[in-house]
Structure 1
């Protein structure tokens, strides 16, 4: 499966800053008919513009898989907390947008909620999550080099700081970079190991 992440900010209404490690993430998987791709993306831009003005909205990120007979869009929408997400779901703009969705999609739209780093494990929508120990291994592989790197880079600045403050600075930067781009890239690169039952075609 070839997955393309919309990570630029040239069109902020389609793709804003990727979510961070806090709050709640709504993961939406939509399979879009190829004849409706242009109309769907125009609809998505309007929806994302509405989300950007919603109190409690943090950011969103879009993954597109155009390799199959239908296009698959996985959108991660981050809100500050569950109350902010529920408030968004109750808005007239969101409810009205949902009434248009059926004309673009082939099959049922899938929704799931994820907390913290869970959303960044790039899970194929039709497969169960990998076992916990594999998620732990991926997390350690991602975070350990970051801790070592930032501890070294920050040493000239934090050498005279209390130990707890120096560790906090290192942990903060490591967490930011773990969320983006390290963990998404790692989970995608290790997908054949995380999901051995699925045949994966890597990007060329």
Structure 2
């Protein structure tokens, strides 16, 4: 399949220099879009077979970072998909691609989008779920994993970083820790822990 992204010829002088302001501006944050699907009664198996096919197509698309399918608890409930891409441009390229359009036509009479799509880059994307129709882990497990990431960060920060700012006013001292921890947890620790502990978070896989 095709899904190539064009690149400027920097060697010919047509692209921004590495490290320039234009180059930094082109860097996008990862984005997640949430889909909700209403599946026709009795056609759940066909829908799940379709979702495995569309997952395979999306996996090869530039910027794709994974998709999570959450099955309903009860028959007749909605399926939810959390689709992750490296940035908005890569996501829009996939959503408007002929490859995706062809897969969507296969859903006629099987399922349709139920609600408007929701985009997010927030903390709800910390748990990197497997690419299959599964239920999310229990909240107590997610809380325990979160604690395992937060506690050592707070301990190390209090021991080694806080003393450097002890003469600062309280509002400034207080803001330093969340400024450091929020990106560290979001981009490094929580995704890494969810991958390492995947068999414990999802024992049925």
TM-score if structure 2 supplies the norm length?
A: 0.51
CA positional deviation for 1:147: 3.3
Q: CA deviation at 1:25?
A: 1.4
Quote the Cα distance in structure 2 between the aligned partners of 1:42 and 1:145. Answer: 36
C-alpha distance in structure 2 between counterparts of 1:54 and 1:154, whole Å: 39
Q: Give yes or no for the alignment of 1:152 onto 2:155.
A: yes
2:49 matched to 1:46? no
Displacement after TM superposition at 1:84 (Å): 0.6
Q: Distance in 1 between matches of 2:192 and 2:81?
A: 15
Which 4+ stretches in 1 moved above 6 angstroms? 142-145, 179-182
Contact 1:32 1:104 in 2 (8 A): yes
Q: Larger relative CO (CA 8 A, sep 6+): 1 or 2?
A: 1
Q: For 1:180 and 1:62, locate their aligned partners in 2 and report how far apart those are by CA, in whole Å.
A: 20
Q: Deviations over 1:29-83 (max 9, x none)?
A: 002134111111111001010110000111111211131x513111000111111
User: What corresponds to 1:73 in structure 2?
Assistant: 79
Q: Given the alignment of the two structures, is residue 35 of structure 1 paired with residue 42 of structure 2, yes or no?
A: yes
Structure 2 stretches lacking a partner, 5+ long: 1-28, 127-144, 166-176, 195-205
Change (3 A) 1:83 1:76: same
| Cα deviation digits, residues 75-123 of structure 1 (max 9, x gap) | 0001111111111122222101111223212x653341313116559xx
Relative to structure 1, the CA distance from residue 51 to residue 143 in structure 2 (aligned partners, 3 Å threshold; closer, same or farther) is same
CA deviation map 1:109-159 (0-9, x unaligned):
3341313116559xxxxxxxxxxxxxxxxxxxx97884333343789xx95
Aligned partner of residue 38 in structure 1, secondary structure: helix
1:116 aligns with 2:116: no
User: How many residues are treated as equivalent by the alignment?
Assistant: 136
Give the Å deviation of 1:171.
5.0
Larger Rg: 2
